[in-house]
Amino acid sequence: MDFDIVTVWALLILFAVFAYVVMDGFDLGIGILFPALRPGRGRDQAINSVAPVWDGNETWLVFGGGGLLAAFPLAYGVIMTALYPPVVAMLLALVFRGVAFEARWRDPAHRPWWDLAFNVGSTVAAFAQGVILGALLQGIAVEDRMYAGGWLDWLTPFSLLTGASVVVGYALLGATWLVWKTEGETQARARRLAPLLGLGLLAGIVGVSVATLGLEFDYWDRWTRYPVVLLTAQVPLLTAILAYASWRALRRGRELAPFLLTLGLFALTFVGLCISVFPYVVPRALTIHDAAAPPASLGFMLVGAVVLVPVILAYTGWAYWVFRGKVGHEGYH
Amino acid sequence: MFAEADAVLLARIQFAFTVSFHFIFPAFSIGLASYLVVLEALWLRTGRQVYLDLFRFWVRIFAVAFAMGVVSGIVMSYQFGTNWAVFSDRAGPVIGPLMAYEVMTAFFLEAGFLGVMLFGMNRVGPRLHFLATLMVGLGTLLSAFWILSANSWMHTPAGFAVNGDGQFVPADWWAVIFNPSFPYRLVHTVIAAYLTTALVVGGVGAWHLLRHRRMRARGGAPAGDDGPSLAGARTMFSMAMWMAALVAPLQILAGDLHGLNTLEHQPVKVMAMEGHFQSHPDGAPLILFGLPDAAAQRVDHAVAIPKLSSLILRHDMNAPLDGLDTVDPSLHPPVAIVFWSFRVMVALGLAMLALGAWSLLARLRGRLYDWPALHRAALAMAPAGFVAVIAGWITTEVGRQPFTVYGLMTTAESASPLDAPAVGASLLAFVVVYFIVFGFGTWYILRLMARGVQVQEPAPGGDEGPIRTAGITPGPAERIARRE
C-alpha cells in the first residue's frame, strides 16, 4: 500500500480519540460512580487517584478536536454543526465537572452540591459523547460542503442507546481503575460494582452492534460478506473472550488486570467502528479524502506529530509513573 | 433572512462572551507561570524560605486559574466548528495546523507537568520539580506563540493560495506563521500578560501590607505567622513593582509599534481607533475624548490636539491621514466600540506607567513598604491589567470587522448554517454555566489571595484536609535552609 498521508492522519486522530476515551474515560467513570462511593473518605480517595492526571487526560480531547479541524476541516465543520446540542452539552458538562473537581476540595461547606455537580457533569459529558458517536454512525446530511439537516436530527433511539452504553462503559473503566488504585472499602465497592457494569457494557455492545447492522447503510454487508466475515467475526469473538477474562480476573482478586482487559474491550469497539466506518469520516457522505486538508497542511503537521507525539507519550507516562501505587484517602506519602 | 442575520449576531455574541471569559485566565496564568519559575529558581539558588512560601502561596492560585483556562479553552476549540463551520472548512487548512501545534507543543506540556508541579515535590525532589515548573512556564509561552500566530494570520493573512473549493491553502508556512502583524501582537500580548500578573501580585502584596499596618496600629500583631507573612508581602510587592516600573514603559513602546503596524496593514481599524471619520490632508488631530456618531460620521464634543495624530502615526505633523470617508460604509467597523475600548486600554496603560514611576520614587525615598497611599493605589490597580487586556482585545477584534480573515472572508460568510433558536439557547446555557462556575473560581481565588502567605506548616496534614497531596513537603526546604 502506498504511503497515504490522509490515512495516516485519520489513524492519528483515531489514536487521539482512543487515548482520550481511555484516559478521560476512567476519570469520567469515577464521576459517574460518585453516588456509589461513600461521601467523605471514599470519594476523596477516588478523586485523589485522578487529581494529578486529569488535566492531561482532557488535553487529548482538545487534540482530537484541534486535529480534526486541522486535518479534516470540512468534516469538523459539518459534524460540529450537525451535532450542535450534544457537543455544547458535552462542553458545558466538562466545564462544570472540571470546576467541581477543584471546588469540592476548596469549598467544603457546599461539598454535597459540588459532588452532585461532579457526578452530573461527568455523566452528561459521557452520555453526550455516546450520542455523538451514535449520531455519526447513523449518518449526517451534507449538501454543498455544509450540514443540511435540522438541529434535532441527531436525536434517535439509536443515539440514546449509544449514549447510555458509553456511560456504562466509562463507569466500568472507573470501577476497574479504582480496583487498581485504591484499597479498603472503596476498592471493595468498586470490585462489587464492576461485574454488574461489565454485564451492562456487554449488553450495550451487543445492542449497539445489532442496531448498527440494521441502520440504512451497508453496515450489514460490510460485516457479513464472505470472506470478510472470517475476519470481522473475530471482533465479537475476542470481545467475548476478554469479557470472560476480566470477569475471572475480578473474581480472583486481581487488581490491574481488570482495568487492562476493560481497555482491551474498548480497543475492540474501536476496531469495530473502523470496520463499519472506514474510509468515511461522516458515514456515507464524506470520505476522509473528501474532507482532508491539502497536503501542505497535513505534511507540515505530520512532521510535528512524528516528533512530538512520542515525546508527549513519554512525559505523560512519566507523570503517571511519578504517581504510581495505591492512593490513600489523605493523599500520597 | 431576518432569522439568519440574528443567528450570526448571536453566534458573535457567544464567541465574544466565551473568548473574553477564557482570555482572562491565560492572561493571568502566562505571567503567573513565569513568576513561579522565578520564585522557585530564587528559592533553589538562595534557599531563602520566603521564596518557597511565596511559591506555595501562588501555586495554589495558579492551579485554580489554570483549571478554569483549560475547561474554558476546550469550549473554544470546539466553537469554531459549532458556530463557524464555514470558516472552519475554508480557513481550517491554515488555522488548524497552528492550533494543532499549540496543542502538541504547549497544552500537553502544561497539563503533563502540572500534576508534578502541584503534587509532586515530595515524590521527585526539588530539581525535577523545578523542571516541571519550567515546562509549565514554557508551555504557557508556546501556547501564546501559536494561538497568536493563528490570530494574527486572520488579521494579516500571508503565505497562502485559494483552491477551487474556496479553501485557504498554505503555500509558505514560514510566511503564514510569521505573518506581518504576528511579532508585534506576540510581544504586545505577552508583555500585557506579564503586566497583568504583576499588577495582581502587587495588589495582593499591597493588601497584605495594608492589613499588617492596620494590625500594628491596633497594637495586636498576631504571633506566629506575622513575621514571614509580612516578609512575603514585602517581597511580592517589591518584585511586582519592579516589574511594573520596568515593563510598563516597554509596553507603551510595544503598543506604539503594534499600532504603526496596524496602520500599515489595517488602516481602517486605526481610523476607527482615532475616530477619524474625515480625511485630514494636512495633519490630523488627536482626538482625546468625544462621542463618535457613526450615523452622522462625526465625533461630537471632541477634545482634540491639532496635528498630534499625524505626529504619532507618521512622525510628521503635517502628514496627510485618510479617514473613514475614503472607505465604503459597508466595510466600517463599529466605530464607537473601537474608539472607546482603545481609550480605556491607553488610559490604563498610562496609569500603570504612573504606578511604576511612583514605586521607583518610593524606593528612592526608602518608603516602598511604608507609604499607604501607594499601597492603596496598587490595590486599586490590581484588576487593571485584566480590563486593559480585554479592552485591547476588543479594539483589535472589533476593529477588523466585518471580516474574519481580513479583506478576504466576512464574518457573515463564516457562520454555520444554524437556526437562531439553537444558537440563542446555547448562548443562554453558556452564560448561566459560566457565571456559576467562573463566579466560584474568582471568589475562591480572591479568598486564597486574602489568606496571606503562610509560614511553612510544621507537620504534614495542615489545613488542607483531604488534599495533603497539594502540599509541598517541608523536607527539602528545611534541608536547604539549614545548609546556609
**Average model confidence (pLDDT) for chain B?**
81
Q: Do A55 and B114 touch (CB under 8 A)?
A: yes
**Average model confidence (pLDDT) for chain A?**
84
Position B473 pLDDT exceeds 50: no
pLDDT at B246: 92
Handedness of CA B117, B122, B125, B126 (dihedral sign): positive
User: What's the pLDDT tens digit per position in A140-151?
Assistant: 888 877 787 777
Rounded to an integer, the average pLDDT of B179-192 is: 92
Q: Which residue of B has its CA nearest to A68?
A: B96
Position A330 pLDDT exceeds 80: no
Angle, helix B2-46 to helix B384-399, in steps of 10 degrees: 140
Position B226 pLDDT exceeds 60: no
* pTM of structure: 0.82
Q: Cα separations (Å) of A209 from A17, A137, A202, A219?
A: 20, 11, 10, 10
Per the CB < 8 A criterion, the answer to whether B286 and B274 are in contact is yes
User: Which DSSP category does B166 fall into?
Assistant: S
By three-state DSSP, how is residue B291 classified? strand
Share of chain A above pLDDT 70, in %: 97
pLDDT at B478: 33
User: What's the pLDDT tens digit per position in B311-369?
Assistant: 888 888 888 888 888 888 888 888 888 888 998 999 999 999 999 999 989 888 888 88
User: What's the pLDDT tens digit per position in A60-95?
Assistant: 888 888 888 888 888 888 888 888 889 889 988 888
Strands (E), chain A: 142-143, 146-147, 280-282, 286-287
Residue B311 distance to chain A (closest CA, Å) = 43
pLDDT at B469: 34
User: What's the pLDDT tens digit per position in B130-152?
Assistant: 888 999 999 899 989 999 999 99
Position A225 pLDDT exceeds 50: yes
Position A3 pLDDT exceeds 80: no
Rounded to an integer, the average pLDDT of A89-107 is: 81
C-alpha cell at B145: 506563540
Q: Cα separations (Å) of B35 from B39, B40, B41, B137, B248?
A: 6, 9, 10, 9, 17
Select the residue from A47, A97, A102 to test the B interface by mutation, using most B Cβ atoms within 10 A. A102
Residue from A162, A164, A92 nearest A133 by CA: A162
Rounded to an integer, the average pLDDT of B231-241 is: 88
pLDDT grade for A329, boundaries at 50, 70 and 90: low
Q: Tell me the H-state helices in B84-107.
A: 85-101
**What element of type H or E holds B323?**
none
DSSP assignment of A135-183, as one string?
HHHH---EETTEE-S-TTTT-SHHHHHHHHHHHHHHHHHHHHHHHHH--
Return d(Cα B409, Cα B142) in angstroms, integer: 28
Rounded to an integer, the average pLDDT of B195-217 is: 87
C-alpha cell at B345: 486600554
Handedness of CA B256, B258, B259, B261 (dihedral sign): positive
Position B471 pLDDT exceeds 50: no
Left (φ > 0), alpha (ψ -120 to 50) or beta: where does B455 sit? Answer: beta
pLDDT grade for A6, boundaries at 50, 70 and 90: confident
pLDDT grade for A13, boundaries at 50, 70 and 90: confident
pLDDT at A328: 64
Q: Which residue of A has its CA nearest to B14?
A: A88
Name residue, grid cell 508583555: B191
pLDDT at B467: 35
List the single residue in A59, A88, A92 with the smallest CB-CB distance to B103: A59
User: What's the pLDDT tens digit per position in B40-80?
Assistant: 998 888 888 888 888 888 888 888 888 888 778 878 878 88
Q: Which residue of A has its CA nearest to B84?
A: A77
pLDDT at B37: 93
Rounded to an integer, the average pLDDT of A248-258 is: 83
Q: What is the ipTM of this complex?
A: 0.78
pLDDT at B5: 52
Return d(Cα B399, Cα B155) in angstroms, integer: 10
Task: For residue A174, count CB atoms less than 10 angstroms from its CB and return exposed for 0-12, middle for 13-18, buried for 19 or more.
Answer: buried
Rounded to an integer, the average pLDDT of B450-479 is: 42
Q: Distance from first CA to last CA of chain B, Å, rounded?
A: 75
pLDDT at B35: 92
pLDDT at B358: 92
User: Which DSSP category does B305 fall into?
Assistant: E
Q: Which residue has the higher pLDDT, B251 or B424?
A: B251
pLDDT at B196: 94
Rounded to an integer, the average pLDDT of A309-321 is: 82
Per the CB < 8 A criterion, the answer to whether B142 and B112 are in contact is no
Q: Do B170 and A296 touch (CB under 8 A)?
A: yes
Rounded to an integer, the average pLDDT of B254-279 is: 84
Taking one residue from A and the other from B, the number of pairs with CB-CB distance under 8 angstroms is 270
List the single residue in B112, B416, B441 with the smallest CB-CB distance to A81: B416
Position A108 pLDDT exceeds 80: no
Return d(Cα B411, Cα A4) in angstroms, integer: 35
pLDDT grade for B294, boundaries at 50, 70 and 90: confident
**What element of type H or E holds A203?**
helix A184-213
Question: Does the beta carbon of B314 lie under 8 angstroms from any beta carbon of chain A?
Answer: no
User: What's the pLDDT tens digit per position in B267-279?
Assistant: 888 888 888 888 8
Rounded to an integer, the average pLDDT of B437-442 is: 81
CB within 8 Å of chain A, chain B residues 136-175: 163, 165, 167, 169-171, 173
The CA dihedral of A45, A328, B447, B348, to the nearest 10 degrees, is -90
Share of chain B above pLDDT 70, in %: 90
Position A224 pLDDT exceeds 60: yes
Residues in chain A closer than 8 A to B116 (CB atoms): 52, 319, 322
pLDDT at B241: 92
Rounded to an integer, the average pLDDT of B448-474 is: 46
pLDDT at B152: 93
User: What's the pLDDT tens digit per position in A173-201?
Assistant: 999 988 888 888 888 888 888 888 888 88
Per the CB < 8 A criterion, the answer to whether B81 and B95 are in contact is no
Return d(Cα A47, Cα B467) in angstroms, integer: 10
By three-state DSSP, how is residue B107 classified? helix
pLDDT at B178: 92
pLDDT grade for A332, boundaries at 50, 70 and 90: very low
User: For residue A283, is the peptide bond before it cis, meaning its omega torsion is within 30 degrees of 0?
Assistant: no
pLDDT at A53: 77
